[in-house]
Structure 1
Amino acid sequence: MTIDHIVFDIGKVLIHYDPNIPFSRIIPDAEERRWFFENVCTHDWNVEQDRGREWPVAEAELIAQYPEREAQIRAFRKHWHEMVPHAYEGSVAILESLIDAGRDVTMLTNFAADTFRHARELFPFLNRPRGVTVSGEIFLIKPDVEIYRLHAKNFGLDPARTIFIDDSAANVEGAKAAGWQAVQFIDAERLRADLAAFGITV
């Protein structure tokens, strides 16, 4: 099957993400920091911002439960930019090579709407693809099959001729459930090999 459309995830595929970077300073004790991420600013709590919940609402919810942690809770959004310290040069080079070669490249990401706007300022290459679907702007998140269908509809993609690149196995399976081809991102070298298997050389 010929691939006409290439869709990239962003976090942990094109840019690094690690909330421990600022919080290793904010909560120096490793055990306390682990507890904080497991009980207060949890993965599930953060995912709701990716689904479209506004940060002030998210913060207020946690502060009501953990008033003594208010400063640390507010620090999550305040220091978000420190959590994305750099891009992955290898995968960005692949993205840009595909665009330069005239390939149709878009992006599909679980991202809060406001932090994605900030990410575009920090990483200008995010403005190069033809477009992007941001979960926080449409109130859907991967791996819900509907977000893949909406992206395909909005960008005129033929699902069978679309390949999706994501670091999450669950998100890869979601794309496959929508009729897309999909590969799990490990590193740039592996991605080049995976794309080559679909007849895409970079």
Structure 2
Amino acid sequence: MSQIDAVIFDIGNVLIQWQPENFYDRTVGEARRRAFFADTNIHHHHEQIDAGASLPGMIDSLVPQYPEYEAELRMWNDNWNDLAAPAIPHSVRLLDALVDKGMTVFTLTNFGHDNFPLSQAVYPFLNRFNREYVSGRLKLIKPDPAIYAHVEADCGIDPDRLLFADDRTENITAAAARGWQTHLFEHPQGWADRLVAEGLLTAEEAT
């Protein structure tokens, strides 16, 4: 009998690939992409979105600072569902299998409040969580201990009965420090094996 009461999924690079460089390489070419990312430090600015800022608002504020990259900046908003793509099929099957078995499943994700619904619209599996802990809504961001404390207080489940999968070591470390069960996501098969080991899925269900 598993001692896990809820399974918690990160989204980026767990359920959906988050490598926006791939989109820009296809559309503007690698050299232009490298210059754009280096000159604008776009990943750093995107952290504001995860922390609660508006995505289109951020882009509007950056265009006057980097007018030579206006087209690329607009793509960050206008082509969101090309940047946050594609889905990771095996991980999605694991989520669906857990939900179909009646397991309580949450997401704890660094994601903007206005672009998360855009992803939900094209990826129906992102609507299957019992609870959604989205950093842009909470204005708290992993690995801040406060976001984990919020999850605990909101769901009322003891930390040692939560199993959390994330692809970033610092996020896993912060959760483990609060007593959560954790899994550093490196590939879907490893996560599948962990769910089977916990007795949450059978080997067949985890394929």
Is the TM value for this pair above 0.5?
A: yes
Aligned to 1:188: 188
| Counterpart in the other structure of 2:18 | 17
Equivalent runs, 1:4-153 vs 2, <5 Å: 4-28=5-29, 30-153=30-153
Structure 1 residues without counterparts, runs of 5 or longer: none
**Which amino acid letter does the alignment assign opposite residue 192 of structure 1?**
A
Aligned-pair identity in percent equals: 37
- Whole-angstrom distance in 2 between the partners of 1:17 and 1:128: 20
Q: Which amino acid aligns with 1:18?
A: Q
Tell me the CA shift for residue 96 of structure 1. Answer: 1.2
Classify the secondary structure of the residue corresponding to 1:53. Answer: coil
Contact 2:76 2:83 in 1 (8 A): no
Query: Residue 106 of structure 1 contacts residue 131 of structure 1 at CA under 8 Å; is this kept in 2?
Result: yes
The one-letter amino acid of 1:21's match is N
Answering whether residue 164 of structure 2 is matched by residue 176 of structure 1, we say no
Unaligned runs of 5+ in 2: 203-207
1:160-200 CA distance string (max 9 Å, x none): 11110011111111211222111111122111222334343
State the match for 2:161 in structure 1.
161
Residues matched between the structures, number? 201
Q: Distance in 1 between matches of 2:195 and 2:40?
A: 39
The farther-off stretch of 6-15 and 80-89 is 80-89
Task: Report how far residue 25 of structure 1 moved.
Answer: 4.2
User: Per-residue deviation at 1:71?
Assistant: 2.2
1:26 shift after superposition: 4.0
Letter in 1 for 2:79: H
| TM-fit CA distance, 1:87 | 1.4
Instruction: Give the TM-score normalised by structure 2.
Output: 0.89
Two-structure CA RMSD over aligned residues (Å): 1.7
